[in-house]
Amino acid sequence: MRNKLAEILYNISKKDKKIAVISADISPAGKMAELSKKYPKRFINVGVAESSMISMCAGLAMQGYKPFAYTIASFSIFRPFEMVRIDVAYQNLPVVIIGMGAGTVYSTLGSTHVTIEDISIIRCLPNFQIMNPCDPLELEECLKYLCKKNNSPTYLRIGKSGEKNFTKNAVSKWHFNKPRKIINGKKICLIATGPIIKLYFEILEKLKEKNIFPSIYSFHTLKPINSIDIKKIFNKYEYIFSLEDISEINGLSSILKNAAFETKYRGILHGFSLKDQYIKNYGSQGDLLKSHGISANIIFKTIIKKSKK
C-alpha cells in the first residue's frame, strides 16, 4: 500500500503544485524517492520530529497547500497528539495524516510499533474524518478524493506492503463515506475495515461449500458515520460480522453496536476486534491477530456456529 500511496501522490504532484508531503524520517519507498528528488519542495523530511511534521502541515494548510503528514502509524498521532488536536483538528485544517503500517502490521517490532489505539483516539476528535481503505485500489480512490475534494482533517490508515487487491470487480463503486459492497450475497453480511478484509476472502470458498453465500462490505470511512447506509445493511441481513485490526474500543464493532442499539436491530451482530490489551508476543501478523482471537479459521467457525442459531 505504501508503494501505491507513493505512486499516486507522485502522479498527482506532477500536476498539482499544492501537494506537500511532510515525512518524519520514513524511508521514501517506491515513487516517494522520485517525488523527493524531482520535487524537493513538495517532499520535506523533517526528520525524527513528529510535532514539527504536524505543526508544519497545519501552517502549510493555512497557506492553501494540501499537506500529507507521512510516517509510521504508531508515531503519526500519539507523540504529536496535542498538535493533532489543536493545530489540525480544532483549527479544522485539511491536513491528511497518514498512518502507515497501522494495526498489527509491524508484528515483530513490539507494542511500541503496533498501533491498536489510533482509531479509538482519533474518532473522538471533532472535525476529523477517518479513512481505512481495504486494498491498494481503494487507497487510490481515497487519495484522489483527498487531493481533489477534501476540506477536513483526515486520518488515512493504511497497511504497508504486499496487500492484494480485492475490489477490482467490486459490486459498488467507491464513494466517500459509503460502506462499499464488494461481493453480493444473502442473509449474512461480512463487514471489514482496512486490509484485514483479506481474511474474509480466505474463507469465502469454504463458506460457499457450506452453502453460505455472504455479502462482503468494505467499511472504508470510519468517520463520519453513515447511519442511513448502516441502517440499510441492518434491514437487509440477519447476521452481521465485523472485522478490524483495531481496538474493540471505539472501532468498527463499536460503531455497529451503537447503530444496532439505535435502530433496534434484531439480528445477530458479532465483532472481531483487537482486545483492549497490549500485545506482548511476536511473530507474524497472523500470529498476533490470533492471540487476540482473530484468524480466518476462527472467523469461519464463528460464522458457521452463529448462523446455525
Partner 1 sequence: MTKITRSIIKKSDLRCHSHRKRILDLSQKVGALHIGGSFSSVEIVDTIYHLLMKKNDKFILSKGHTAVLQYVILVSKKIMSEKFLNSYCQKNSKLGVHPDYGTPGIEASTGALGHGLGIASGLAIREKKKNIFVVISDGELMEGTTWEYILTISSLNIFNINLFIDYNGLQSSTFSKNTHPTLTPINKKLKAFGWSVRSCNGHDVSDILKNYNKKEVNKPFALICNTTKGFPIPYMMNVPLWHYRSPNKSEHKEAINYLTKFYNKKNEK
Positions that interact with partner 1 (CB under 8 A): 20, 41, 44, 46-47, 49, 51-52, 54-63, 65, 67, 82-83, 86-87, 90-92
Nearer to partner 1, 55 or 273 (CB): 55
CB of 127 to partner 1, least distance (A): 12
- SS3 of residue 117 by DSSP: coil
CB of 178 to partner 1, least distance (A): 31
Instruction: Please count the helices (runs of H) and the strands (runs of E) in the chain.
Output: 12, 12
Nearer to partner 1, 67 or 251 (CB): 67
Q: Residue 163: in which H helix or E strand, if any?
A: none
CB of 20 to partner 1, least distance (A): 7
Angle, CA 134 vertex, CA 72 and CA 106 arms, to 5°: 30
Nearer to partner 1, 11 or 127 (CB): 127
Nearer to partner 1, 92 or 172 (CB): 92
Place of cell 482471537: 293
Contacts for 176-179 with beta carbons within 8 Å, 24 or more apart? 176/145, 176/149, 176/221, 177/129, 177/221, 177/224, 177/226, 178/221, 178/226, 178/229, 179/217, 179/218, 179/219, 179/220, 179/221, 179/226, 179/229, 179/230, 179/233
Question: Of 121, 254, 239, nearest to 190 (Cα)?
Answer: 239
Is 66 within 8 Å of 12 (Cβ atoms)? no
* Residues pairing with 272 in the sheet: 243
For the chain, how many residues are written?
309
CB of 38 to partner 1, least distance (A): 16
* Residues pairing with 67 in the sheet: 20
CB of 65 to partner 1, least distance (A): 6
CB of 252 to partner 1, least distance (A): 31
Nearer to partner 1, 52 or 302 (CB): 52
CB of 40 to partner 1, least distance (A): 11
Nearer to partner 1, 50 or 248 (CB): 50
Nearer to partner 1, 150 or 193 (CB): 150
